[in-house]
Amino acid sequence: MKLLVAGGASYIGSWLVPQLLAEGHDIVIYDRLLFGSGFLPKDNDCLKVIKADMRDLASWRAACMRKDAVIYLASISREAMCQQNPELAQKINVECFAPCVQAAKEEGVNRFIYASSVAVYGSSTTPLDEDSALAPTTLYGQGKMLCEQALWAEASPEFTVTATRSASVCGYAPRMRLDLTINRMIHDAMRKGIITVEGGNQVRTHIHIQEVSDFYKLLLTIPAEQIAGKAFNLVEVSEPVIHSALRVAGATGTKIKRVPRADDRSYAVSGARAATLGYAPKKTINDAIAEVILKFRSGYWTDSETNPRYQNMAHVS
């Protein structure tokens, strides 16, 4: 297939794209390269990287021409970054999305896969499914919800639209994100010798990055009628933060320090709908922890405390 991966120079994209190339797809990554592109397999003849912004609709439209499917990962993808510049988050995470979807549809793209998030749900102590009411509590989550609504509005028999609502992802990728909960705990264990947990009883959701990649691959090939107009939660566990910290502490032999946290809201989701597609996660959170520890022990990210490239913390304009 000819694929256009918006925001493909990302944590998830840097793991997914090489696998799509190995499956024989032709890929164009369209990304403003906020975190660079040195980690992409740019010597592969089947990969082209376009450095451009989602807000540049003419460039986006040109990139959509003669593509079979779009995987849309581009985003200001952390609440702290959205809070730093809410106007920009609104422009990138919300306003430019509907025109981008419409352009893809007009250019004859058949399938549009959007990277949404469990952040579209409000807080809950019991696992929410895809039919639960959406009540996001963050700017990031509100943006995801609005984009989903814009996506569903463009659905047609010729234009299959679907969305992943992923839990917080963990595990190794060439464009590493050490700010994500479990990756950060491993970082702190390996670099600081202590895992600091704020609160700990609040529930959070997690999934291995390979499982996210496998699900995108499934969405590219599965019959349209099974996914059209539907969102899918991607999750392995919903568990208290202290349980995740205990996994990392056990694997690294590190102590945990608990500090108070004012906001102890919980977020929990069910992955039952994805299972109806025959999708059965194989890689676990514990696998992700072991793999990232191994990378640290092999000398990766020695500059992790000073190099902003591994953290979604940078100020974006």
Ligand X SMILES: NC(=O)c1ccc[n+]([C@@H]2O[C@H](COP(=O)([O-])OP(=O)(O)OC[C@H]3O[C@@H](n4cnc5c(N)ncnc54)[C@H](O)[C@@H]3O)[C@@H](O)[C@H]2O)c1
The least distance separating ligand X from the CB of residue 220, rounded to whole angstroms, comes to 16
Residue from 4, 40, 47, 54 in contact with ligand X (CB under 6 A): 54
Q: Which range of residues in 9-17, 42-50, 235-243, 263-271 is near ligand X by CB under 6 A?
A: 9-17
The least distance separating ligand X from the CB of residue 255, rounded to whole angstroms, comes to 26
Interatomic CA distance for residues 241 and 256, integer angstroms: 12
The least distance separating ligand X from the CB of residue 157, rounded to whole angstroms, comes to 27
Count of H helices and E strands in the chain?
A: 11, 12
Is residue 236 a contact partner of residue 208, using CB atoms and an 8 Å limit?
A: yes
Interatomic CA distance for residues 98 and 31, integer angstroms: 17
Q: Given phi > 0 = left and psi -120 to 50 = alpha, else beta, which region is 255?
A: beta
Q: Which range of residues in 47-55, 215-223, 237-245, 301-309 is near ligand X by CB under 6 A?
A: 47-55
Q: Is 212 exposed, middle or buried (0-12, 13-18, 19+ CB in 10 A)?
A: buried
Nearer to ligand X among residue 147 and residue 197 (C-beta): 147
Residue from 19, 26, 32, 94 in contact with ligand X (CB under 6 A): 32
Residue from 160, 202, 238, 312 in contact with ligand X (CB under 6 A): 312
Interatomic CA distance for residues 43 and 223, integer angstroms: 32
Q: Is 73 in the site for ligand X (CB under 6 A)?
A: yes
Nearer to ligand X among residue 54 and residue 139 (C-beta): 54
Q: Is 33 in the site for ligand X (CB under 6 A)?
A: yes
Could you say which residues in the range 179-208 bind ligand X, by CB under 6 A?
A: 180
The least distance separating ligand X from the CB of residue 234, rounded to whole angstroms, comes to 8
Nearer to ligand X among residue 59 and residue 266 (C-beta): 59
Is residue 160 a contact partner of residue 104, using CB atoms and an 8 Å limit?
A: no
Could you say which residues in the range 80-139 bind ligand X, by CB under 6 A?
A: 92, 115, 117
Interatomic CA distance for residues 167 and 235, integer angstroms: 5
The least distance separating ligand X from the CB of residue 10, rounded to whole angstroms, comes to 3
Q: Is 75 in the site for ligand X (CB under 6 A)?
A: yes
Q: Tokens standing for 193?
A: 């010798």
Is residue 280 a contact partner of residue 236, using CB atoms and an 8 Å limit?
A: no
Nearer to ligand X among residue 91 and residue 258 (C-beta): 91
Q: Is 244 in the site for ligand X (CB under 6 A)?
A: no
Q: Tokens standing for 185?
A: 């705990």
Sheet hosting strand 47-51, strand order edge to edge: 47-51, 26-31, 2-6, 69-72, 111-117, 160-166, 230-234
Is residue 255 a contact partner of residue 196, using CB atoms and an 8 Å limit?
A: no
The least distance separating ligand X from the CB of residue 124, rounded to whole angstroms, comes to 17
The least distance separating ligand X from the CB of residue 54, rounded to whole angstroms, comes to 4
Residue from 3, 4, 5, 10 in contact with ligand X (CB under 6 A): 10
Strands (E), the chain: 2-6, 26-31, 47-51, 69-72, 111-117, 160-166, 168-170, 194-198, 203-208, 230-234, 237-240, 255-259
Could you say which residues in the range 139-178 bind ligand X, by CB under 6 A?
A: 166, 168-169, 175, 177
Give me the residues that bind ligand X (CB under 6 A), please. Answer: 7, 9-13, 31-35, 53-55, 73-77, 92, 115, 117, 166, 168-169, 175, 177, 180, 312
